[in-house]
Amino acid sequence: MAAVSGALAAGRRLRIRYVTAADEASEREIDPVSLHTQDEHAYLLAWCHRARGRRTFRVDRVLDATVLDVPVEQHDVDPDVDFTPAGDAPVATIVLASPARAVAEQVPVESVRDLPDGSFEVRLRVTNPVWLRRLLLARAPHVLSVEPASVAQDVRQAARAALTAYERLPGSLG
């Protein structure tokens, strides 16, 4: 955070090592534009020279940051960050049992519909399939249905891979 703040204050470029939610690490040179917070996370809006475009980086996913002795270039970057998922992102519809109610309160959903049996349905935009997979795996006992079927298939494959990995551990019953 010190390097990020220092680069912003001095108008200097940063070299960062960054890991995505999909656990993919990369090294980039970026021109920092502004720092934002959303919920409990800080985000750095920047011009990414590798992507040749505006990118938003979650600060806690920056593995390393070095302030370079290169001034930031001027880029046509809107300094505002909209954390609302894009309207063209695919929609997932998930029915959850009542004990998972926190999902509707903690996750940006488009709609919540209570069902007669006490369960509820959420519709949300999927901007990050890895994040959705983790959400569904963490709440697996309470997931009653998932649409589209491709999302359910992705979660099934991840769960099977996890079970297979645990079966290979020494001392496992499998």
Q: Where are the alpha helices (DSSP H) in 76-138?
A: 102-106, 129-138
Q: How far apart are CA 74 and CA 54, in angstroms?
A: 12
Please indicate whether residue 21 or residue 36 has the higher confidence score (pLDDT): 36
Q: How far apart are CA 169 and CA 174, in angstroms?
A: 9
149-167 vs 129-138: helix crossing angle, rounded to 10: 60
- Once rounded to an integer, what is the mean pLDDT over residues 73-83? 73
- Once rounded to an integer, what is the mean pLDDT over residues 57-77? 90
The residue behind tokens 């309207």 is: 87
Report the mean per-residue pLDDT for the chain: 86
Q: What percent of the chain has pLDDT above 70?
A: 90
5 token code pair: 């703040």
Q: What pLDDT was estimated at residue 39?
A: 63
Q: How far apart are CA 68 and CA 57, in angstroms?
A: 18
- Once rounded to an integer, what is the mean pLDDT over residues 75-81? 73
| pLDDT tens digits, one per residue of 82-137 | 555 555 678 899 999 999 998 888 777 888 999 999 999 999 888 778 778 888 99
Question: Kind and range of the H or E element at 53?
Answer: strand 53-58
100 token code pair: 């998972």
Q: Is the Cβ–Cβ distance between 84 and 108 less than 8 Å?
A: yes
| pLDDT tens digits, one per residue of 151-174 | 899 899 989 998 898 888 887 665
Q: Is the Cβ–Cβ distance between 109 and 145 less than 8 Å?
A: no
Q: Which domains does the chain have, with CATH numbers?
A: 2-71 (2.30.30), 91-167 (3.30.70)
